[in-house]
Amino acid sequence: MNSPDFSAACPLPISQYPHVLMAHGGGGRLMHRLLEDVFGKAFSNPLLDTRHDSAQFNVPLGRLAMTTDSYVVRPIFFPGGDIGSMAVHGTVNDLAMSGARPLYLTSAFIIEEGLPMQTLWRVVCSMRDAAKKCGVQIITGDTKVVDKGKGDGLFINTTGIGVLEHSLNIAPQNVQPGDAVIVSGDLGRHGMAIMAVREGLEFESQIESDSAAVHEPILELIKAGAEIHCLRDLTRGGLASALNEIAEAAGVKIAIEQNAVPVRADVNAACEILGLDVLHVANEGRFVAFVPAQEVESVLAILRQHEVSGNSVVIGRAIEKASPLVTVKSTLGVSRILDMPSGEQLPRIC
């Protein structure tokens, strides 16, 4: 994670405006300066620099993919990332899940009055760096300031547009019996990193979020002509929710093995302490891929060349067309249902 050098670079005179005021969203001179000096400066690119009400751009021939997501994570800064980098990674990843090459993002900020200007600048710099690393441009945006107490510091919405440079139908409905289930790395780091910070839990080692963009290995798979049936990024609800949604959409039975699922020892320990199932815990830089059995070796070889998917492994397979069901074989070799979590994950009493 690149940490922006925000302290030296914040272009607004901090001494004058150490916090965001209502006037920064009021349409007048202060708002103009905020847009020009903070967002305009950080995100600068030819399309944004036209300062028009809407960005105009040419579209390539073929299909486009579009997605939107809102980011409300608390705390704003967490080990391994922040709301800004996450707002880029999450939307880039959603585009990547249809095999799209991400092109453009929008960014809409809802800022609570009183947010330290340094905090905003730090988030904006983090977004800038993440977008640059992902090869996407932020081409239009919006800023609103809400009264103190009517927001929670900062919310960000990003919408993304990408182009599909393939003719595959990458979708949950396309999962076939016999497909291998590949997970792109160890699970549960984002959820446990956030929970540890939010709840003031101290473990021996700091768990860092896995927040990252995963489009590069996927675009390489597509370039190599891999037959991908389905991709799904593992966010809230974790692997369990993703597999259940896919089983339902495809009308298949999916079976995975607990022993095959990669989980780091510190994440595993934190889950044990809190009584959480790591298969239900959120991730921000992990995806699951369904590919035909004969493609497994070549797909794994490509995924493992990239740091973000370097620990990709097969964890199970789609068994047959049947009523939707996901099962997991326990470490003792007995299979059970893997259900979606009922609601928010709540630590057990004992």
Partner 1 sequence: MKFLDEYRDAELAQKFAQEIHRITTRPWKIMEVCGGQTHAIVKYGIDELLPKQIELIHGPGCPVCVTPLEVIDQALEIAARPGVIFTSFGDMLRVPGSTTDLLSVKAQGGDVRIIYSPLDAVKIAEQNPAKEVVFFGVGFETTAPATAMAIYQAAQKGLKNFSMLISHVLVPPAIEALMSSPNCQVQAFLAAGHVCAVMGYEEYFPLAKKYRVPIVVTGFEPLDVLHGILLTVQQLESGRAEVENQYVRAVNRAGNQSAQDLVKKVFKVVPRKWRGIGEIPQSGLGLNEAYGAFDAAPKFKLTDCCVDEPAECVAGLILQGLKKPHECPVFGTRCTPEHPFGATMVSSEGACAAYYRYRRQGANERVGAL
Using rule CB under 8 A, residue 59 touches partner 1: no
Q: Is 243 helix (H, G, I), strand (E, B) or coil?
A: helix
Stretch that binds partner 1, among 82-90, 102-110, 150-158, 328-336 (CB under 8 A): 328-336
Please report how close the Cβ of residue 330 comes to partner 1 at its closest, in angstroms.
5
Please report how close the Cβ of residue 171 comes to partner 1 at its closest, in angstroms.
25
CB 74 within 8 A of CB 197: no
Please report how close the Cβ of residue 206 comes to partner 1 at its closest, in angstroms.
18
One residue of 14, 64, 108, 319 binding partner 1 per CB under 8 A: 319
Strand-by-strand arrangement of the 325-329 sheet: 230-233, 287-291, 180-183, 313-321, 252-257, 325-329, 335-337
Binders of partner 1 in range 230-269 (CB under 8 A): 253, 255, 265, 268-269
Stretch that binds partner 1, among 77-85, 106-114, 305-313, 340-348 (CB under 8 A): 340-348
Using rule CB under 8 A, residue 205 touches partner 1: no
Q: From CA 123, how far away is CA 119, in angstroms rounded?
A: 6
Applying CB under 8 A, the site for partner 1 has a residue count of 31
Q: Which residues of 187-214 are buried (b: 16+ CB within 10 A; e: fewer)?
A: bbbbbbbbbbbeeeeeeeeebbbbbbbb
Q: From CA 24, how far away is CA 345, in angstroms rounded?
A: 37
Torsional class of 132: left (φ above 0), alpha (ψ -120 to 50), beta (otherwise): alpha
Phi first, then psi: give them for residue 82, nearest 5 degrees: -160, 175
Nearest to 35 by CA among 193, 157, 143, 172: 143
One residue of 15, 54, 56, 331 binding partner 1 per CB under 8 A: 331
Please report how close the Cβ of residue 204 comes to partner 1 at its closest, in angstroms.
12
Using rule CB under 8 A, residue 321 touches partner 1: no
Using rule CB under 8 A, residue 202 touches partner 1: no
Q: How many other β-carbons are positioned within 10 Å of the β-carbon of residue 248?
A: 15
Stretch that binds partner 1, among 46-54, 154-162, 291-299, 319-327 (CB under 8 A): 319-327
Pairing of strands 325-329, 252-257: parallel
Q: From CA 249, how far away is CA 257, in angstroms rounded?
A: 21
Contacts (Cβ under 8 Å, ≥6 apart) of 111:
20, 24, 25, 120, 143, 144, 145, 146, 151, 153, 154
Using rule CB under 8 A, residue 275 touches partner 1: yes
CB 42 within 8 A of CB 109: no
Q: Which is nearer to partner 1, 18 or 275 (CB)?
A: 275
CB 183 within 8 A of CB 313: yes
Please report how close the Cβ of residue 276 comes to partner 1 at its closest, in angstroms.
10
Using rule CB under 8 A, residue 329 touches partner 1: yes
One residue of 1, 72, 201, 249 binding partner 1 per CB under 8 A: 201
Please report how close the Cβ of residue 338 comes to partner 1 at its closest, in angstroms.
8
Using rule CB under 8 A, residue 322 touches partner 1: yes
Please report how close the Cβ of residue 255 comes to partner 1 at its closest, in angstroms.
6
Q: Which is nearer to partner 1, 272 or 307 (CB)?
A: 272
Using rule CB under 8 A, residue 149 touches partner 1: no
Stretch that binds partner 1, among 47-55, 184-192, 296-304, 324-332 (CB under 8 A): 324-332
Nearest to 100 by CA among 64, 67, 57, 130: 64
Please report how close the Cβ of residue 350 comes to partner 1 at its closest, in angstroms.
5
Using rule CB under 8 A, residue 325 touches partner 1: yes
Q: Which residues here bind partner 1, judged by CB under 8 A?
A: 199, 201, 253, 255, 265, 268-269, 272, 275, 319, 322, 325, 327, 329-337, 339, 342-344, 346-350
